[in-house]
Amino acid sequence: MISTPKQLVIVVLLAFAVPLTVILLVVQFITSGINADPDSSAMSEAAIAKRMQVLNADSSTQIANNQAIDSPAIAVDPGESLYNTVCQACHAAGIAGAPKTGDQSVWSARLDLGNNVLYQSVIKGKNLMPARGGATNASDDDIRAAVDFMLSTLQ
């Protein structure tokens, strides 16, 4: 095929020139999309401002939604949370002779004592139940709320 030095030179040059042209065309094709014309309508200041508005509106509705989701979590009954963290350790299963939560039959006689007596039993401790049910940092109000929550399970 290649019989003269001239033919050899042409083939060698083509071997470089053809791939180089292809590469240049590809690079040009890719970068043409990046250098968007700043005067085109999509990049105009009005169009950018409009897109920013949509983004801002989206994030503010999202914040509003998050607040709506968060507020019930803040409003969790303090009595219920104290019960769940401390009291249920004994009262859920009726450990050490603790009256079992929700068991009408073991509570009926205690209910006759009246809520104030029950509150005082917990605050001071009674037999195997330590003072404040062991929740030493809980206020009297917290204890009353936890008792109220326990008794609310009986209805």
- Binding residues (CB under 6 A) for ligand HEC: these are 82, 86-87, 89-91, 96-99, 110, 113, 117-118, 121-122, 126-129, 133-135, 143, 146-147, 150
Name the residue type at position 38.
Answer: P
CB of 74 to ligand HEC, least distance (A): 22
Distance CA(136)–CA(72), nearest Å, equals 27
CB of 49 to ligand HEC, least distance (A): 58
How many Cβ atoms sit within 10 Å of the Cβ of residue 83? 25
Both tokens assigned to 37: 């014309």
Q: Which is nearer to ligand HEC, 18 or 110 (CB)?
A: 110
CB of 105 to ligand HEC, least distance (A): 14
Q: In the block, which residue shows the tokens 């709320």? A: 145
Q: Which is nearer to ligand HEC, 19 or 94 (by Cβ)?
A: 94
CA distance 105 to 9: 107
What is the number of alpha carbons within 13 Å of residue 50 lying toward its C-beta?
7
Nearer to ligand HEC, 45 or 112 (CB): 112
Q: How far is the CB of 71 from ligand HEC (least distance, A)?
A: 26
Q: Locate 82 and state its tokens.
A: 């104290």
Closer residue to ligand HEC (CB): 39 or 112: 112
Nearer to ligand HEC, 7 or 139 (CB): 139
Least distance CB 72 / ligand HEC (angstroms): 24
Give the whole-angstrom CA distance, residue 13 versus residue 24: 16
